[in-house]
Amino acid sequence: MHDVYICDTTLRDGRQMPGVYFTLYECVEIAKRLDEIGIDQIEVFCPGYVLKDYFLIRELNKIGLDKKLLVWHRGLKVDLEKSLNTKLKFGAVALSIATEKHHREQKLQMTKEQIIENMCEAVSFAKEHDLYVSVNAEKSVGTEPEYLIDFADAVTEAGADRIRYCDTLGELIPHETYNIISKLAKRIKVDIEFHGHDDMGLGVGNTLEAYRAGAKWLDTSVCRLGERGGFTSLEQVLYNLYKHFNIKKYDVSKLAELATFVQNVSGIDPPPNTPITGLNIYRHESGIHAHGVLRDVNLYEKVRAAEVGIKEGSMRDKIVIGETTGRESIVFILKEFGINVEKTDPVISKILNKIQEQYLFGRKTSVAHEELVELYQLFTAKNRVKPVTTLAEF
């Protein structure tokens, strides 16, 4: 496979998610952690668009991350002029304009020719100032194919370094993505970047198919932060590149730490069954699965905790007691507390029946391991014969 480069947009697209507001310190820390993982570009807003980003870019300049910055602008020369007048340093710019028919007519009220003219003017101006340029065709999906090629050819002639193909509404499915990107790759002279939202849950699949089809640049966001249904997950893309494409340039062992930090500062708590970094990836309740894990953890854990930086818990930490628990789990947990009992012992059936009964009547929580011991003690106590200690008792 060809080379791959990651442009992370947590600090741009991620911050467009309603209710997510990072402090300046938090933005800087996220950028530093992305850099530690090896992310190739970090996208931020232009300083004329969001006040905080003037100070963010300034702080990232101080720690030497200016060359990794991709600063987003509208596809207008005037936006670039404002940014350059700040004297801040950044190595690359994203210039964005919508190309799809309804966006042209209803939002921009511009003709095809006007859109190309404006973008080419902005690209030329950026190249005059030695900037790397990613041209963003917002709402690429739905844009007339031949017009998209004409647009790409024109901005390439003006000096663009790559074209960002935008699945703005997350509406593609993977095989469509492969077909579209593979055709574009044959006709466009510069690198293709894939920018996929996750409205229909296919962001990661589309991004990986875009890579297979020839896209060299892939856009991601930590914890799927983004507008509407979110954006393509950094954690999931990097881990899949590592596992399925043998891409080892990114330090996946730092993914859990980064995700946890972003979760904390964004206030967004992902569900425990989140791929790659979710707690339930490494916990098991179902009797069939727990039985296998107790024999060999690899039977039911393809993603290993240590690979992504999660401290590998003990086997006891992995086993959850609940409605679908089986005998092997009960026996294992009791043994962890020093109680040795065979799975064929009638007391195991009594414990399982009691647990099932609790869920029948509406229990909503897992059974604590200590509670399991209490149930064992309850049922075994009933079977004990109380010794005679006095004549009166006799």
37 and 142 housed in the same domain? yes
Tell whether 393 is covered by a domain.
Answer: no
The pLDDT value given to residue 59: 98
The pLDDT value given to residue 33: 98
**Which residues, 6+ apart, have CB-to-CB distance to 174 below 8 Å?**
202, 205, 206, 208, 209
Enter the pTM of the model: 0.92
The pLDDT value given to residue 384: 59
323 and 362 housed in the same domain? yes
191 and 285 housed in the same domain? no
182 and 323 housed in the same domain? no
132 and 236 housed in the same domain? yes
Tell whether 392 is covered by a domain.
Answer: no
User: Distances from the Cα of 64 to the Cαs of 134, 234, 258, 267, in angstroms?
Assistant: 21, 23, 20, 29
Give the domain CATH number at 88. 3.20.20.70
> Is residue 288 a contact partner of residue 272, using CB atoms and an 8 Å limit?
no
Q: Average model confidence (pLDDT) for the chain?
A: 94
Residues 332 and 337: their CA atoms lie apart, in Å, by 9
Q: Which residue has the higher pLDDT, 312 or 158?
A: 158
144 and 238 housed in the same domain? yes
* 272, pLDDT greater than 70: yes
Tell whether 274 is covered by a domain.
Answer: no
Question: Can you read off the two tokens belonging to residue 295?
Answer: 């024999």
206 and 283 housed in the same domain? no
Tell whether 175 is covered by a domain.
Answer: yes
235 and 343 housed in the same domain? no
**pLDDT tier at 126, thresholds 50, 70, 90:** very high
pLDDT per residue as tens digits for the range 84-100: 999 999 999 999 999 99
Tell whether 370 is covered by a domain.
Answer: yes
pLDDT per residue as tens digits for the range 145-190: 999 999 999 999 999 999 999 999 999 999 999 999 999 999 999 9
Tell whether 70 is covered by a domain.
Answer: yes
Nearest to 218 by CA among 61, 2, 56: 2
pLDDT per residue as tens digits for the range 381-393: 866 555 555 545 4
108 and 190 housed in the same domain? yes
348: helix, strand or coil: helix
Q: Average pLDDT of 265-288?
A: 93
Tell whether 25 is covered by a domain.
Answer: yes
At CA 228, angle to CA 116 and CA 20, rounded to 5? 105
Point out the least confidently predicted range of 64-73, 97-106, 384-393.
384-393
Of 237, 266, 295, the residue at which a domain comes to its end is: 266
The pLDDT value given to residue 334: 96
Residues 197 and 327: their CA atoms lie apart, in Å, by 44
260 and 292 housed in the same domain? no
Q: Average pLDDT of 203-209?
A: 98
The pLDDT value given to residue 366: 97
Q: Average pLDDT of 240-244?
A: 97
Domain that holds residue 94: 5-266
Of 266, 287, 308, the residue at which a domain comes to its end is: 266
44 and 116 housed in the same domain? yes
> Is residue 168 a contact partner of residue 139, using CB atoms and an 8 Å limit?
yes
**pLDDT tier at 48, thresholds 50, 70, 90:** confident
The b-or-e profile of 177-211 (16+ CB within 10 A means b, else e) is: bbebbbebbeebebbbbbbbbbbeebbbbbbbbbb
Q: Average pLDDT of 347-361?
A: 96
Residues 220 and 150: their CA atoms lie apart, in Å, by 27
If one counts the domains in the chain, the total is 2
- Rounded to a whole number of angstroms, the distance between the first and last alpha carbons of the chain is 85
The pLDDT value given to residue 381: 86
Of 215, 243, 266, the residue at which a domain comes to its end is: 266
pLDDT per residue as tens digits for the range 8-34: 999 999 999 999 999 999 999 999 999
Tell whether 388 is covered by a domain.
Answer: no
Q: At residue 354, what is the residue type?
A: K
The pLDDT value given to residue 117: 97
